[in-house]
Amino acid sequence: MKPLVSWLRFIWTTLTSMRTALILLLILGIAAMPGSLLPQRPTNPVGVADYLRAHPDYGPWLDRLDLFDVFGSAWFAAIYLLLFISLIGCILPRTAGYLREVRALPSPAPGRLSRLPGHTAAVLEGTDAATVLDAAEAHLRSQRYRVRREDDSISAERGYLRETGNLVFHICLVAMLIGLAWGSLFQFKGTAIVVEGQAFSNTLTQYDDFGAGAAFSASHLEPFTVRLDSFDVRFETGPVQTGAARDFNAHVSVSRPGESETTGSLQVNAPLQLGGDQVSLLGHGYAPVVTVKDGNGEVAFSGPVVFLPQDSNFRSDGVIKAPDARPERLAFQGVFLPTAVSGGASGMVSAFPDALSPELLLNAWSGPPKQETGAPENVYALDKTGLTQLMSEDGNPVSVALTPGTGYKLPAGLGSITFDGWKRWVKLQVSNTPGGWLVLGSVMLAVLGMAFSLTVKPRRLFVRVSGPGAAGARGDAGSSPADSTPDDSGVGIAVSVAGLDRVDGRGGLAEAVAALASACGIGATLTPTEDEEKR
């Protein structure tokens, strides 16, 4: 049992030492670096896959070390948990010591002040010890020192806020971690694409992708419906940064149970706050509106189809599927160009992100009807099994370019497609991270505490008198500073003043001691010491 206890004690003292905390901090900093330099799964799964393909030799090893999910990895958690244990181990004893200190009076003045910085001494006549000490005490109290008055000396201290700030800062870091842990348990974040005129209801099935913490349950979702009425965009048309996004504004109608529908606007820096859930505008794109008629002349599909932007000028890819078309089901692979221009060898390209002269380029596929399996299908990709590409009469694959309002009749009487127009879509993110206010509050309080701990000057000042009237004068010890002219036998009393800064990197001690000395009635010149070198 004994060895275990001493071993645990050893672990604890090692872990809570400043040196260990320093090393852990450094390791945490270094450990965070690969997370910013390598693609990370949570934010960039495609990047990770690309990286693994490009580096088949050592990529898997990096993966085994969790280097593609650094901030979710066990070893990263181990570092910061150790750090916070170390932090708590540092805070507890310091808080206890601090509480003792603020309740107690400052410790008594040292017997001999002459060795302390800023020491000044003089023999004063026509006064007595009590008067001098009264004056000193009044001065010190006006300077907001805590004063310990004894018969022949005063010891004063100020700057307790430094340690207060220090402790507040470190306690707030722990509170922040609790807030983060709380948030990560209950948080959720999901995105959904909503086309103009369509609506999003906050239920799990409506999300395109969704992630949540361990303690999340679907009942946490705030019930609401957001309809996208219209979406305005403005792009830079001037010569500088042409095509850069300048303004996004989504006009939405929000309905919540038991409330009448309200309209509002959703912008990049102005999310909607619905209960605890926040709806943010993350992205946008185009959805061409098409009508597909099948070989029987029936409408097999009609409506907007979400295309995903591929470049900064919104060349967008998408797939139009008409599985119900008869006799053959139909599918189209399309490219939407908001501002179509001829790009030379690379064919048609988009020259500007806004829809100035939109075109829809299509390839067509057909195949026998497929049995409904109910298996989920990627709406952005075309599964070509069972499909054959339609060929035009010259033997090349069908490739058509449609402008709004135009259509194309498929060969062999399979049907037709018309490009009716286009709509915009927005990518909405709904998120809720409880504990955010605890995190924010702790950080702000931590900054405040840090400011105090870095700027408050803890300082101690002392006065010692000896001679007539100084009851209980301690013989020679304090009364005869070497560099003053002691005159104990006369009517004068010897007064010496000095100060001490507990933290280096502080100026102004000499001035503080001089002010105290003059408050005591010493019109003395300072005894300069090495510590008092100006900045």
Binding site for another protein (CB under 8 A): 18-19, 21-22, 25-26, 28-29, 32-33, 35-37, 40, 42-43, 71, 189, 236, 238-241, 244-248, 267-271, 278-280, 282, 429-431, 433, 436, 439-440, 443-444, 446-447, 450-451, 454-455, 504-505, 507, 533, 535
Q: Check if the beta carbon of residue 351 is closer than 8 Å to that of residue 357.
A: no
CB of 196 to another protein, least distance (A): 18
- SS3 call for 524: coil
Question: Quick one: 142 or 269, whose CB is closer to another protein?
Answer: 269
Question: Quick one: 80 or 462, whose CB is closer to another protein?
Answer: 80
Question: Quick one: 309 or 334, whose CB is closer to another protein?
Answer: 309
Phi-psi region of 126 (alpha: psi -120 to 50; beta: other; left: phi over 0): left
Question: Quick one: 55 or 246, whose CB is closer to another protein?
Answer: 246
Instruction: Look up tokens 């097999």; give the residue.
Output: 300
Question: Quick one: 247 or 511, whose CB is closer to another protein?
Answer: 247
Q: What are phi and psi of 88, to 5 degrees?
A: -65, -40
Closest CA to 80 of 25, 127, 43: 25
Distance CA 54, CA 46 (A): 12
CB of 439 to another protein, least distance (A): 7
Question: Quick one: 438 or 491, whose CB is closer to another protein?
Answer: 438
Question: Quick one: 51 or 407, whose CB is closer to another protein?
Answer: 51
Q: What are phi and psi of 181, to 5 degrees?
A: -65, -45
CB of 241 to another protein, least distance (A): 5
Please say whether the dihedral angle defined by the alpha carbons of residues 238, 239, 240 and 241, taken in this order, is positive or negative.
Answer: positive
- SS3 call for 208: coil
Distance CA 145, CA 65 (A): 56
Question: Quick one: 248 or 425, whose CB is closer to another protein?
Answer: 248
- SS3 call for 135: helix
Distance CA 351, CA 395 (A): 31
Residue 253: strand pairing partners: 227, 263
Question: Quick one: 367 or 441, whose CB is closer to another protein?
Answer: 441
CB of 423 to another protein, least distance (A): 20
Distance CA 18, CA 3 (A): 25
Q: Check if the beta carbon of residue 437 is closer than 8 Å to that of residue 182.
A: no
CB of 451 to another protein, least distance (A): 5
CB of 163 to another protein, least distance (A): 12
Q: Which amino acid is at 255?
A: S
CB of 315 to another protein, least distance (A): 19
CB of 435 to another protein, least distance (A): 10
Question: Quick one: 225 or 442, whose CB is closer to another protein?
Answer: 442
Beta-carbon contacts of 383 under 8 Å, excluding residues fewer than 6 positions away, are 377
Provide the 10 A C-beta neighbour count for residue 25: 15
Question: Quick one: 253 or 278, whose CB is closer to another protein?
Answer: 278
Tell the burial category of 535 from Cβ atoms under 10 Å away from its Cβ (0-12, 13-18, 19+): exposed
CB of 232 to another protein, least distance (A): 11
CB of 333 to another protein, least distance (A): 28
Distance CA 348, CA 364 (A): 18
CB of 91 to another protein, least distance (A): 14
Instruction: Give 15-72 as a 3 state SS string.
Output: HCCHHHHHHHHHHHHHHHHHHHHCCCCCCCHHHHHHHHHHCCCCHHHHHHCCCCCHHH
